[in-house]
Amino acid sequence: MDLQIKNKNALITGGSRGLGKAAALHLAQEGVNVSICGRSTEDLESTAKEIKNYDVDVYTFICDVSDLDSLAQMHNSAVEAMGDIDILVNNVGGTKSREGLEGTSMDDFKGTFDLNVFSAFELMKLVIPGMKNKQWGRIVNISSIWGKEYGGNISYMTTKSALIAATKHAARDLAKNGITINSIAPGSILHAGGSWEKMITENTEEFVQDFIAQNLPMGKFGWPESLGTLVAYLCSDGAGLINGSCVVIDGGQSYSV
């Protein structure tokens, strides 16, 4: 399917591996020029090499998005390299603490907001003027099923829920400008270097199989290519009426409707 987004410019945070890499590759398959940021030069260079196979422009930037002061410089560098950003994928996410309420410090709680919410908020503000000038733009924020229902730790769950809410509010504000803003709520998707790979390596085979049996109706972990396909579709004109939505991609794992 031709999604009719060839020659658009995309910026993907955490685009060097995992879900961000899948998003970058699927957009590149559609002819989208791609800027990716990450913290590992090696991962960025490896992913950029794959993206170049699709004969698009690709740019890489070292950036820790939780350092909010660095975002404007990174955005400006991307714009200088490729032009205004048409597509923004806020993919970076994680947690500064894996504890509950009593075990989570205020600094770690705030740090998780910097990582999962405030970085996305700031980048949305940075790209929107260019999108408004063109009267076209696509923003996709990667949340989690644990932003929709109970799961994970208190920092992660709270911030991913906040990201879904910010997405909905911003989408209504900017709909008249030809800009759509949606979030995606992945379930347990396995990829190299991700938290689910770590869970598998740190636990017994019996523990892992029990987790799969209890939580994953398909009998296996999800795969990042499905999310990449969804990101590309949400960025197309064909998905122009999807706005302010949170699209779950979890193989039936979540319990909410």
Active-site annotation, residues: 156
Check if the beta carbon of residue 30 is closer than 8 Å to that of residue 5: yes
CA distances from 164 to 33, 160, 214 (A): 27, 6, 26
Nearest to 180 by CA among 143, 235, 114: 235
**Which run of H or of E encompasses 224?**
helix 224-234
CA distances from 151 to 48, 78, 202 (A): 34, 35, 20
Only one residue has tokens 């004109």, namely 237
Could you give the CA distance from residue 108 to residue 126 in angstroms, rounded to a whole number?
26
Structure tokens given for 93: 């996410």
Could you give the CA distance from residue 199 to residue 203 in angstroms, rounded to a whole number?
6
